[in-house]
Structure formats: C-alpha cells, structure tokens
Amino acid sequence: MDDDQRIEADPHERCRALGAILDRIGDKWTVMAVGALSEGPMRFNALQRLIGAVSHRMLTLTLRGLERDGLVTRTIYPTIPPKVEYALTNLGQRLIPPLKTLSDWAVENQAELEMAQRAYDASAARSAPAS
C-alpha cells in the first residue's frame, strides 16, 4: 500500500461510495422498509404487514440498520401496550429521489431485461440441454 500518487478524480472513489451505500440498502428488506416509510411514519406491525413476507427478526434488524445509518428514527411511546413508531429522517427522505430514479429505470427496462435473460437461457440451453 505504498501509493505515492494520490488520484483525486479516481472513478474508484465514486464506485466505492456507491458500493458502500449498496452494501447498506442493497439487501432485500431495506428498500421495502424505506419505501413503506416514505408514505409516512408507521408502527412496527403496520410495517410488517405492509411489507408482507419479512420475518419479525429481519424487520427488526433492518430497522436497526436504518436507525444506525441515521435514515430512520425510532420513537418509543412508553404506554401499555408499547407503541413504537418508525419514521424517515431528513436524510432518509433525501434518499427517496435517487431510489426513485433507479426504480424508474427498473420499470422502464425490466421487459428488456427479462427478454435478454430468456434469450441467454435459451442459448445456454444448447450447451446444457440435459436437466
């Protein structure tokens, strides 16, 4: 690691930043949680119902991660029974537009993507027909 040359405009810088953020939000449940919370603050169970297939544990861990990243706040109302409300922070809300940009791409291009996949699988089937 004796890099004497510092490359400021290194494209890797950008890639690493992108990789870092994808490491955090790239999992299956984080984006779902953010998407659900983008509609407004929500309680734990409401979140779980809205997302659907997420397990109790995974939602807890996901929300913990989001809270740690400062994207979500957890507000505890010390009532009986306990009531905990999750909400996007300012930082979390700023994440929505970039996410929407990406989802726009996904919606617009998913047909082409699936078509490419079918074509690839079809030609791959020639090499591995036995199954």
Partner DNA sequence: CTGGATCCCCACTGATACTG
Partner DNA sequence: CAGTATCAGTGGGGATCCAG
Separation of CA 7 from chain center: 30
Instruction: Give the angle subtended at the CA of 24 by the CAs of 83 and 100, to the nearest 5°.
Output: 85
We find the least distance from the C-beta atom of residue 35 to a second copy, in angstroms, to be 4
Contact 50, 64 (CB under 8 A): no
- CA dist 121 and 31 (Å) reads 29
We find the least distance from the C-beta atom of residue 66 to DNA, in angstroms, to be 11
Does position 45 bind DNA by CB under 7 A?
A: yes
Does position 110 bind DNA by CB under 7 A?
A: no
We find the least distance from the C-beta atom of residue 102 to a second copy, in angstroms, to be 5
We find the least distance from the C-beta atom of residue 73 to DNA, in angstroms, to be 11
19 three-state secondary structure: helix
CA distances from 80 to 70, 84, 114 (A): 27, 11, 49
Binding site for a second copy (CB under 8 A): 8, 11-15, 17-23, 25-28, 31-32, 35-36, 39, 50, 52, 67-71, 91, 94-95, 97-107, 109-110, 112-113, 115-117, 119-121
Binding site for DNA (CB under 7 A): 27-28, 43-45, 53-58, 60-61, 63-64, 74, 76, 81-84
